[in-house]
């Protein structure tokens, strides 16, 4: 490697826009820099869409820079309208605080705030005590409404409606940057490309108020090759919290990615050396599944740890690799009372109970379409009861479609 962290980030696909490429390159390659990324406190967990900023922090931290992870206890009270088609629902302060705590705990797994080089802050600490009049006079006067209205990020909202509270968001985010510059000598803010306007507002503000030059960098907003937003599935978000989205599901999310995305994802979501990635992404046809498994394993390891990644990999092998032997232990499992199995359980009931189907109606529909399986045998009738006889040494394997699998053991 060239040894340039900037080039590495660039080659891995982390960089969408930079305020001043030469300045940022110099800063990151030659100086110890403190940089920050903000995370909204809008949910109890981050999802895969936040992985790019997280990974960027991990890379820069490893290169010796100091990462400030800022949770938005204050800004989330206001809500960012950038690029959004409508106003987000207002959250209660208490929930925002709880979300922030959960998110900080999640970030801690990647950043280890107890070690040097990573700091966790919440902007509620300085935004909430603000005095309105003072804020308007000190900060508000530096913002041109004309220019804000011209911004691309608000275009949509100028047609569908933009409330005053949201219009203030940019000022608050700019103020965050100013505060971090003052208190932590933070000179680089990063964020999703939809944050470009907000970040530049901060750069501008610091120049006007402090006469200092600070920088901005954004990450590309990723969509999968088929156009879906990164980290979203039809069922919902790909949460980083194991209770909301299990390591097994998480592993499968990565394995299921489009062929065209494998190289890009390996670069962004794993710490594997670029040489290794080039080898993996060169694989073709069925061999590319090998690259997908590596991607899934590495990504799962970063988010859920080595043990969970091993288990998820073993579970996947059991589900898709023919007879998996002991590995079926790793599959999602539900215990069902022996007596109920002796009596026999209607498949629609059982599949719904273990969560493979959302309702009995849906389960019946799938049966009629040949989409439910018991021990790899297709359920051909609604009346085909699942009984104790179906249980082998590993219990009973239920499948909905080819990919969703669940194990039932008698208890």
Partner RNA sequence: GGGCAGGUACCAAAGUGGUUAAAUGGGACGGGCUGUAAACCCGUUGCGGAAACGCUUCGAAGGUUCGAAUCCUUCCCUGCCCA
Query: Where along the sequence are the contacts to RNA (CB under 7 A)?
Result: 158-163, 226, 228, 233-234, 252, 255-256, 258-259, 284-286, 288-289, 292-293, 316-317, 319-320, 346, 348-349, 352, 358-362, 364-366, 369-371, 382-383, 400-404
Region of 224 on the Ramachandran plot (φ > 0 left; ψ -120 to 50 alpha; else beta): beta
**Spatial separation of the C-alpha atoms in residues 26 and 213, rounded to whole Å:** 14
- Rounded least distance, CB 190 to RNA, Å: 30
- Rounded least distance, CB 48 to RNA, Å: 16
- Rounded least distance, CB 390 to RNA, Å: 18
Give the residue with the Cβ less far from RNA, 11 or 362: 362
- Rounded least distance, CB 259 to RNA, Å: 5
Is the four-CA dihedral 233, 98, 189, 265 of positive or negative sign? negative
Query: 345 and 385 in contact (C-beta within 8 Å)?
Result: yes
Give the residue with the Cβ less far from RNA, 1 or 282: 282
Give the residue with the Cβ less far from RNA, 204 or 327: 327
- Rounded least distance, CB 43 to RNA, Å: 17
Query: 174 and 139 in contact (C-beta within 8 Å)?
Result: yes
Give the residue with the Cβ less far from RNA, 24 or 328: 328
- Rounded least distance, CB 127 to RNA, Å: 24
- Rounded least distance, CB 380 to RNA, Å: 12
**Spatial separation of the C-alpha atoms in residues 269 and 298, rounded to whole Å:** 8
Give the residue with the Cβ less far from RNA, 120 or 330: 330
Start-end of H helices in 185-287: 196-210, 247-255, 262-269, 274-281
Give the residue with the Cβ less far from RNA, 266 or 348: 348
Residues in the chain, how many?
A: 411
Please return the burial class of 130, using the count of CB atoms within 10 Å of its CB with bins 0-12, 13-18 and 19+: middle
Question: Tokens at residue 64, please?
Answer: 């010796």
Give the residue with the Cβ less far from RNA, 30 or 85: 85
**Spatial separation of the C-alpha atoms in residues 270 and 55, rounded to whole Å:** 8
Question: Tokens at residue 230, please?
Answer: 């990164």
Among residues 177, 66, 182, the alpha carbon closest in space to that of 116 is found at 66
**Spatial separation of the C-alpha atoms in residues 321 and 360, rounded to whole Å:** 29
């Amino acid at each position: 490697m060239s040894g340039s962290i900037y080039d590495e980030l660039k080659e891995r696909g982390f960089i969408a826009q930079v305020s001043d490429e030469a300045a940022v390159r110099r800063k990151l390659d030659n100086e110890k820099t403190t940089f920050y990324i903000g995370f909204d406190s809008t949910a109890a967990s981050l999802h895969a869409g936040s992985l790019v900023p997280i990974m960027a922090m991990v890379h820069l931290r490893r290169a010796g820079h100091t990462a400030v992870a800022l949770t938005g206890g204050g800004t989330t009270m206001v809500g960012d309208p950038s690029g959004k088609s409508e106003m987000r629902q207002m959250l209660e302060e208490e929930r925002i605080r709880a979300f922030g705590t959960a998110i900080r705990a999640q970030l801690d797994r990647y950043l280890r705030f107890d070690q040097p080089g990573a700091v966790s802050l919440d902007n509620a600490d300085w935004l909430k005590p603000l005095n309105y009049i003072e804020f308007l006079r000190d900060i508000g006067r530096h913002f041109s409404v004309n220019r804000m209205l011209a911004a691309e990020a608000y275009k949509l909202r100028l047609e569908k409606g933009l409330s005053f509270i949201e219009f203030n968001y940019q000022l608050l985010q700019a103020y965050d940057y100013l505060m971090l510059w003052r208190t932590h000598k933070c000179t680089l803010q990063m964020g999703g490309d939809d944050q470009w306007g907000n970040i530049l507002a901060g750069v501008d503000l610091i120049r006007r108020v402090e006469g200092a030059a600070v920088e901005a960098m954004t990450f590309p907003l990723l969509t999968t090759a088929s156009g879906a937003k990164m980290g979203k599935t039809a069922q919902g978000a790909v949460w980083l919290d194991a209770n909301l989205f299990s390591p097994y599901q998480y592993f499968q999310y990565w394995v299921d990615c489009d062929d065209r995305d494998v190289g890009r994802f390996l670069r962004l979501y794993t710490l594997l050396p670029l040489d290794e990635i080039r080898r993996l992404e060169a694989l073709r046809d069925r061999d590319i599944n090998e690259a997908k498994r590596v991607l899934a394993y590495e990504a799962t390891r970063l988010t859920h740890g080595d043990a969970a990644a091993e288990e998820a990999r073993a579970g996947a092998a059991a589900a898709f690799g023919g007879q998996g032997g002991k590995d079926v232990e790793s599959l999602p499992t539900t215990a069902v009372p022996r007596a109920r199995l002796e009596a026999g359980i209607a498949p629609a009931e059982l599949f719904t109970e273990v969560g493979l189907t959302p309702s009995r109606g849906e389960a019946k529909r799938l049966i009629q379409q040949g989409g439910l399986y018991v021990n790899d045998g297709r359920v051909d009738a609604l009346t085909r009861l699942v009984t104790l006889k179906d249980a082998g040494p590993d219990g009973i394997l239920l499948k909905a479609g080819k990919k969703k699998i669940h194990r039932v053991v008698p208890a």
